[in-house]
Structure formats: C-alpha cells, structure tokens
Amino acid sequence: MARHPRVLGAGLLYHVIARGNRQLDIFLRPRDYHAYLERLAKYRNKFKLTLYAYCLMPNHVHLLLETSDPSLSQFMQGVQQSYTQYFNRAHSQVGHVFQGRYKAIVCEKEPYLYALIRYIHLNPVRAKLVTTPEEYPFSSHRIYLTGRPTDVLDPAPGLRFFDGPSEYRRFVLDGLQEGHKPEYYKVENQQFLGKQGFPERITSKSAAHPSNRPPQSLPTALRTLATQMKIDPAVLRSRDRSWETSRLRTLISYVLVKQLGFPIGEVAAQFGRDGSTLSTLLNHLADRARTERRLMRQVAEVTKKLHIPRNQDIKA
C-alpha cells in the first residue's frame, strides 16, 4: 500500500514518533540521551518551532511540537541525521539507527494537546521503567514541574492553562491509571488525530492555497538542476571526483536537501554516495554559505529558477 503524503504547514500540532531500526535501542548509555537532547535544542532553535513535550525511551522517541512554518521535514532530518552520525561514531557502528520513516500525526489542539503532554510524560511509567514520571530523567516532565525553560524546551506554552506547575502535576498524576491509548496511534488516514471533520479542514486549507509549482520527482528535479548548471546528470552520478564536478554535485545536493527538502539518503543514492559523507559536505557548504556572499547568491539564483515542491508532501 502506498504511504500517505505528509501534511506540512505553519501552526500544526504534530505527535512525532521515531523508532529504532529493527526495534533496537537507540540509546545505550546516558551520554546518548544527552547527545540527542543537544541536537533537539539546536534544531528547535534553528527552525523556531514550539516543543511542547518530549520523552526519550530506550528504543524510540516521542515529540509533541508545533511548527512556525512547514519545516517539520527539515527539523527531523537535522535531528535524526546528526544523531545517527553521533551514534555510529560513539558505538563504532554503521548504517541506519532509526526505522525508516518517522510517524508524524497531525493533532487537533482541542482536546488533544494537554492529553498528549500527559500521555507522553507517562510513557516511562507505562513501560515500568519508573513508578512516577518525575523519576525519569529523559522526558520534559521535570521541566514542567520547575516551570523554568531550558535550552531544549520552554514549559510556558504548555503550562498556560494550568494554575502553575502544581496543578499540572495533579493533572498528570490523575492519568497514572491510564493504560496504552491505541486511538492515539490508529489515526484517521494514518496521520490525523481529531474530531470528526478535522482532516477535511486541514486538507481543504491546503487546497485553498494551491502551489503554482508543478510537483516533480527527485530524478526530475536533479535533471532540471543539472541542465541549469550546464552539466550532464550522468557525470554527476559518475565516479568523477574532479574539483568542478565535485563542486557542482555538492551545490546541487545542497539545493535538493536544504532548499527543496528531499531526504539526504535519497539524494546520496542518486549520486551513488554515502549519506554520512554527503551530510558532512553539505554542512561544510552551509557554513561557507553563511560567510561567502558569492556562494549565497549562487545558491539563491539556482533555487529561484526552480519551482519544484516535493511530491510526497502537502503544505497546509
């Protein structure tokens, strides 16, 4: 069965679930949890989104967040790729750390926002890792109890309808007897959690503001870019490591990943390259682009001429 396209848009509330590859643990020691949180803080600030709750379990992650623009794909790409590189270095491993495509459920704020904050913070209790949520160090529950922001999360947006952390704590403890909530996962059309009519409202919003850019596949986008850069796509896919070919290959990859939002693994596969290597090259190029005006202009000119949204995402 073909997977449904993601719905992307500003002001949408997402329950994101990312699981370990083959159900294996993605956190093997305390340092791993802290490394993930460091990346969560970095990319939360970069993409200016609101993180309402997080819980890092041994083999999966729960995030509850709201985007300020359609940046969910780029945010998750940054967090997961960066953590994968860290994990493989730290544990002398290679390959995937996360299991394929993360789940991103679009949730209706009323009544699900606060119910999901509680549900996510009670994950360690349901898994019998702890008896109370405050015992667990790798969720945002303790941040809510202090009421003070950290680099990772500011509890103020989530606490605004509670009369302080004490009332929030009572609300969470009232849910201790709740078990697993399958309705939070078996959602309508695989991506919506809300009252009747909620999916239609979100998708109709997308239809009311259609993009004037024709959807194209990654190979088509690559061919279009190669034509504009006056290079044969076959050369880009070849083993040619000359300076000019490598430069154009990296620049085109940068536009495909950073500007158009294609997954770095798919782009790397187009060129027959390793995803980690390409990620390092793109990070170096991004650093240069921040300081080199000529390179910034070149990236902007190439991107401006393109009108290619990803054909697997719907922007609301």
This prediction's pTM: 0.62
The kind and range of the H/E element at 83 are helix 72-90
Distance between CA atoms of residues 265 and 42, nearest Å: 21
Confidence at residue 176, expressed as pLDDT on a 0 to 100 scale: 86
- Name the residue ranges covered by the structural domains of the chain: 6-208, 218-311
Residue (of 188, 163, 49, 177) closest to 119 by Cα position: 177
Asked if residue 106 has pLDDT above 80, the reply is yes
Q: Which two tokens stand for residue 290?
A: 């921040």
Strand order in the sheet with 103-107: 50-57, 60-66, 13-19, 103-107, 192-193
pLDDT tens per residue across span 243-265: 888 888 888 888 888 777 777 77
Asked if residue 184 has pLDDT above 60, the reply is no
Q: Residue 270: pLDDT band by 50, 70, 90 thresholds?
A: confident
Residue 44 C-alpha from the chain's centroid: 10
Decide if 6-208 and 218-311 have a common fold: no
CATH superfamily of 6-208: Transposase IS200-like (3.30.70.1290)
pLDDT mean over 294-313: 59
CA triple 196-201-204, angle to 5 deg: 140
When mean pLDDT is compared over 51-55, 158-162, 174-178, the highest value belongs to 51-55
Distance between CA atoms of residues 150 and 266, nearest Å: 34
Q: Residue 139: pLDDT band by 50, 70, 90 thresholds?
A: very high
Q: Residue 214: pLDDT band by 50, 70, 90 thresholds?
A: very low
pLDDT, the chain, mean: 80
Percent of the chain having pLDDT more than 90? 37
Q: Between residues 50 and 263, which one has the greater pLDDT?
A: 50
Distance between CA atoms of residues 167 and 110, nearest Å: 19
CB 105 within 8 A of CB 187: yes
Asked if residue 200 has pLDDT above 80, the reply is no
Phi, psi (degrees; rounded to nearest 5) at 132: -135, 150
- Across 27-48, b (16+ Cβ under 10 Å) vs e yields beeeebbebbbebbbebbeebe
Range with the lowest mean pLDDT among 50-54, 55-59, 174-178, 241-245?
174-178
Q: Which CATH class is domain 218-311?
A: mainly alpha
Asked if residue 17 has pLDDT above 90, the reply is yes
End-to-end, the C-alpha distance of the chain in Å comes to 24
Q: Residue 192: pLDDT band by 50, 70, 90 thresholds?
A: low
